[in-house]
Structure 1
């Protein structure tokens, strides 16, 4: 099958990328800009830096910094209403996945109306939204290059995804210098999240020759730099590899999609409020181990990209080295390795299983068919 390949209209990637923000603001002829971020970014002073760049582009700037770590549908609805009522003609999302997801979703919702709950699924927005520029301050979510946005549905205690080509930003600005203040814990969680994006999209059923190029390079870059970035956050070379790797993983994710790791991780975030990166990290190795037989050749390539000694190994032996490499990496960067560590108990397994089984968009893209029994078994194995 042939699938579409999409990117933001303009991408600035690498050290000094932020210098191009003012010029892009001028191109939009925007005079009223809303900068959407969070308290952590504000505490690091990055909002002031970005605000100055926007003002140099000739626009008035307001800042909305009330974005939670795991934003809900209520947040998106309220921000979209704020955008509509105040007539903003450009939105800038600054931060991790949460501010960027809120920025791009509220930009489209402000034009189309209703609640973000009305658009759960694929390509349900009838019209384009307010233009967006997205600027990540972490190397992990890839939100600046994806057509996806994930939000918590409080009533159902689960996260769901909105997918639309209209969610793609008009401009993505990825400057590794903005990630230098990212703390080790967040660097680890978002970095593993990016690696999950790369591995899942590389082994996804919708993977293509184009996405494979991005995914494999992302796996290589992240694997060789994440430990340094977590241990020594001021190492700009490691930060740049992480930023580029995260962006490449996002490109692959945006076009090939992901699979069962995300499907099983979503209920953890919805019910137990575990961050997206940690949720993915917890399920990463167990799901990979299950998936390996679905495509031994590709998982062997994952192992090689992660620096494992695959020469002379059988396809199965080489594929399983990828699982070992992931386990070692997750342990090295200090992420929890069991569900109990994040508050999950035996009696929660049924809820998690039923919730994960409903993530059909993700499960149908997984390289191996996964039944309810398989899902339950993986959760129990990770408990």
Structure 2
């Protein structure tokens, strides 16, 4: 891979964009799984800073969503938490100094780990909501995910407060002495701060998304059952619309 990243080198998932229909569709097949993945951080040294940020946040979302997935297992948990820890430290460094080979190596490793995690546990509502947003308004996949991640985490919090607290610790938040709820609240804040540290724009309106597009996007996202069924807390189209408006 030349980004860190999608984790595609170790997953059975591919995404196709239909620009005419303004859709992004996932293809899932074991025929997409490689026999060997050659992962070298040297291949990412010339990755533009904007792509470094967007693809790095994509890897972060893979790790977070697989950790919160209803299909999580001890193996995917270890991979996901390990990836979150690496990304929290390495992504700002790789973004600030693209030639930092240690940071690039950590990001390549984290992307691989996150890919293995979500390849087995799956991703959830963040990705489901990001598909209509990216497909309709030509927003990079990682950026679409980043715009929605803190708001979906806030929604999911009630269903997985202990795991959210563990994510906070993995992000470097000092959680000693805090209740799980307090730590989970800080996880949402820390995630937003991490995205901001690599200059991910805040708010869908900054990409020219009209507010009146939200109901149709919510309806489309609610039908992506392949992803929604992995989410720890169920969402209706109305719930999704509220999340879009919060992220607007």
Aligned equivalent of 1:158:
23
Q: Is 1:205 aligned to residue 63 of structure 2?
A: no
1:309 to 174, 187, 191: 174
Alignment of structure 1 residues 140-159 onto 2, 5 Å: 140-159=5-24
Task: Tell me the CA shift for residue 374 of structure 1.
Answer: 0.8
1:242 maps to 107
Structure 2 counterpart of 1:275: 140
Match of 2:222 among 352, 357, 362: 357
Q: State yes or no: 1:371 paired with 2:240.
A: no
Give secondary structure in 2 for the equivalent of 1:228.
helix
The offset of 1:270, in angstroms, is 1.1
The question of whether the paired residues in 2 share the 8 Å contact of 1:147 and 1:164 is answered with yes
Q: Deviations over 1:70-92 (max 9, x none)?
A: xxxxxxxxxxxxxxxxxxxxxxx
Q: Which is strand-richer, 1 or 2?
A: 1
More helix by share: 2
SS in 1 for 2:37: strand
Per-residue CA deviation, residues 108-145 of structure 1 (Å, 9 max, x unaligned), is xxxxxxxxxxxxxxxxxxxxxxxxxxxx0110100111
| Alpha-carbon contact 1:158-1:355 (below 8 Å) kept | no
Unmatched runs of 5 consecutive residues or more in structure 1 = 1-135
Instruction: Give aligned pairs, total.
Output: 248
| TM-score (norm: length of structure 1) | 0.64
Aligned pairs for 1:289-308 (under 5 A) are 289-308=154-173
Aligned counterpart for 1:330 among listed residues 195, 198, 207? 195
Q: Which has the larger radius of gyration?
A: 1
SS of the residue corresponding to residue 377 of structure 1 reads helix
CA contact (8 A) 1:158 1:268 kept: no
Distance in 2 separating the partners of 1:154 and 1:231: 33
Q: Would you say the 8 A contact 1:208–1:256 is kept in 2? A: yes
TM-score under structure 2 normalisation? 0.98
- Deviating beyond 4 angstroms after TM superposition, the runs of 4 or more aligned structure 1 residues are none
Q: Tell me, what secondary structure is at the counterpart of 1:159? A: strand
Q: What is residue 185 of structure 2 aligned with on the other side?
A: 320
Deviation at 1:241, TM superposition (A): 0.4
Aligned partners of 2:36, 2:242: CA distance in 1, in Å? 42
Bigger relative contact order (CA 8 A; separation at least 6): 2
Give SS of 1:292's match: helix
Could you report, residue by residue, the CA deviation over 1:183-223 in whole angstroms, capped at 9, with x for unpaired residues? 11110000011000000001100111111110010000001
| 1:71-110 alignment, distance < 5 Å | none
Aligned to 2:246: 381
Deviation of 1:362 after TM superposition, in Å, equals: 0.5
Counterpart position of 1:340: 205
What is the CA-CA distance between 1:153 and the residue it aligns to?
2.7
1:29-81 Cα distance to aligned partner (Å, 9 max, x none) = xxxxxxxxxxxxxxxxxxxxxxxxxxxxxxxxxxxxxxxxxxxxxxxxxxxxx
Q: What are the within-5 Å matches in structure 2 for residues 30-109 of structure 1?
A: none
